[in-house]
Amino acid sequence: MKIYRFLTGDDTSAFCHKVTEALSKGWDLYGEPSYAYDSANGVMRCGQAVTKEADVAYSADLKLGQL
């Protein structure tokens, strides 16, 4: 089964580390990153979709970050 996650965070090195960690655990980038200005907090936010093949049955209770 192909698993999908959308990683989000402030546009900082911490977000880059989050994506790098996912890649090191076998996740693949899916599509282009997205950026948006959060005017309420005055920061740029970014997101990146990632996918991974996993040999599990789907359940809404899956902890995607632990696969």
- For residue 60, being part of any structural domain is answered with no
Chain segment 21-32, per-residue pLDDT in tens: 999 999 999 999
* Average pLDDT estimate for 47-60: 92
pLDDT-derived band at 52, boundaries 50, 70, 90? very high
Into how many domains does the chain fold? 1
* Average pLDDT estimate for 36-49: 96
pLDDT-derived band at 65, boundaries 50, 70, 90? confident
When comparing pLDDT for 33 and 64, which is higher?
33
- For residue 46, being part of any structural domain is answered with yes
- For residue 65, being part of any structural domain is answered with no
The domain of 48 spans: 2-54
SS3 51: strand
- For residue 20, being part of any structural domain is answered with yes
What distance in Å separates the CA atoms of residue 54 and residue 36, rounded to the nearest whole number? 31
